[in-house]
Amino acid sequence: MLTLLSLPPAVALVSGFGLALVLAYIFTGLIGRLARRKGWLDQPSERRVHKVAVPRLGGVAIFLAFLISVLLIYWPGSLHEALVYEGFLPAAVFITAVMAYDDVRGLPPGIKLGLQTVAVVILMLPGLAAGHLNEHGDIISSIHNPLHIANIINSDTLEIPLIFAIPFTWFWTVGMMNTINFVDGLDGLAGGITMITAVVMTVISVLLGQYAVAVLCAIFAGSVLGFLPHNWTPAKIFMGDSGSMFLGLALAVLANIGGAKLATMLLLLGIPVLDVAVVIIQRVRGGRGAFHYDKRHLHHKLLESGYSQRQIVLMFYGLTSFFGLLAILSLVLPDALPFVFRTSIAGASLAHLIGLALVGLAMIFILSFLIRRRRPNKDQPVLTTSQPHRESNL
């Protein structure tokens, strides 16, 4: 079998990206036609923008392209990567399969949250069973310490006791899955943000010398990019919960598999994460459930302010790319940063934390300026969401 062991890193990276892209593009078209024949469609309604029935199983195509490419090209480069990989693949198979069933038949919110929890348990099992005191696979048992360079805490990493690491890993992974699910509200929005994030993670992994991780990130980026042409507005197919949950799971794993990646992921997805947090707080304070459907999300407010779907999606792409560039520059141009940042991983993490402050400022800027800048055209109906997932169902 052709694996990373027999390919130079650069060749594996490029071939993995290209293979995943081509497979995802082909599989998405095939699954879209199959879904139409079987009647697995999302029907138009008052809560949707699309005027015709649209298939919603694009996530299955993304996952199949990723799975085949990974099995052919990727090979773990360390014990940590091997333990993560052993948990990630079965967890991804499980969450994609059960959420594909949800896309076709529908599942209640409590069941979906339970299934997400099962996926996280599957993810953590290899690390729990490994028996290594300092290696727990995909259990987040330590984080890089951004305060070390400032001599506030004299340690490169902050260790998390296992009793706290397990629930923290659950919170991180389930939170990431639902963040991508919530942001999947416009054609191409969730997929594009995820693809840009995966590309940035690929570059950072190369800069850190983690070539096997870079190949995994590149394969993931290619599988999402191959889906996007079918999902660009007007979408011919939706990724559905099978797609958003797999994408969220993959991002959660990629954030833990290499150095300084949790801070990077929060930086890249800071605006969607902050948006979800604010909306959930508003819902709970208003006496509604955290997953109650409403139009409080940032993309809803931008739609109501008169921006088109394409403008909003490109706006999010631009912001994600900007913060991705900031994350990369924190590694490649350390001498251009203030003295407090001049270290590799710890300094980059501190730069990322400051970047998170910029995320908050960007969120305030969008809400205070962009929304007020335009007003909806009264002759046109206000759009709400073009993607078919139901937040009330997680």
Instruction: Note the pLDDT tens digit of each residue in 235-249.
Output: 999 999 999 999 999
What is the rounded distance in angstroms from the CA atom of residue 89 to the CA atom of residue 81? Answer: 12
According to the model, what pLDDT value does residue 84 have? 92
What is the rounded distance in angstroms from the CA atom of residue 176 to the CA atom of residue 275? Answer: 13
According to the model, what pLDDT value does residue 350 have? 56
What is the rounded distance in angstroms from the CA atom of residue 88 to the CA atom of residue 201? Answer: 17
What is the rounded distance in angstroms from the CA atom of residue 301 to the CA atom of residue 296? Answer: 7
* Residue ranges in the chain modelled with pLDDT below 70: 1-6, 43-51, 131-134, 144-156, 258-260, 282-284, 286-297, 300, 334-360, 362-364, 366-394
According to the model, what pLDDT value does residue 214 have? 94
H-only helix segments in the chain: 9-38, 58-73, 79-105, 109-130, 162-183, 189-207, 211-231, 240-256, 261-268, 270-285, 298-304, 309-332, 345-365, 371-373
According to the model, what pLDDT value does residue 305 have? 76
What is the rounded distance in angstroms from the CA atom of residue 264 to the CA atom of residue 287? Answer: 34
Contacts of 82 (CB under 8 A, 6+ apart): 76
Please check whether residue 328 is in contact with residue 268, taking contact to mean a CB–CB distance below 8 angstroms.
no
According to the model, what pLDDT value does residue 194 have? 97
According to the model, what pLDDT value does residue 262 have? 80
Q: What does the pLDDT look like over 217-236, one tens digit per residue? A: 999 999 999 999 999 988 99
- pTM for the full predicted model: 0.86
According to the model, what pLDDT value does residue 56 have? 87
What is the rounded distance in angstroms from the CA atom of residue 72 to the CA atom of residue 15? Answer: 10
Please check whether residue 345 is in contact with residue 144, taking contact to mean a CB–CB distance below 8 angstroms.
yes
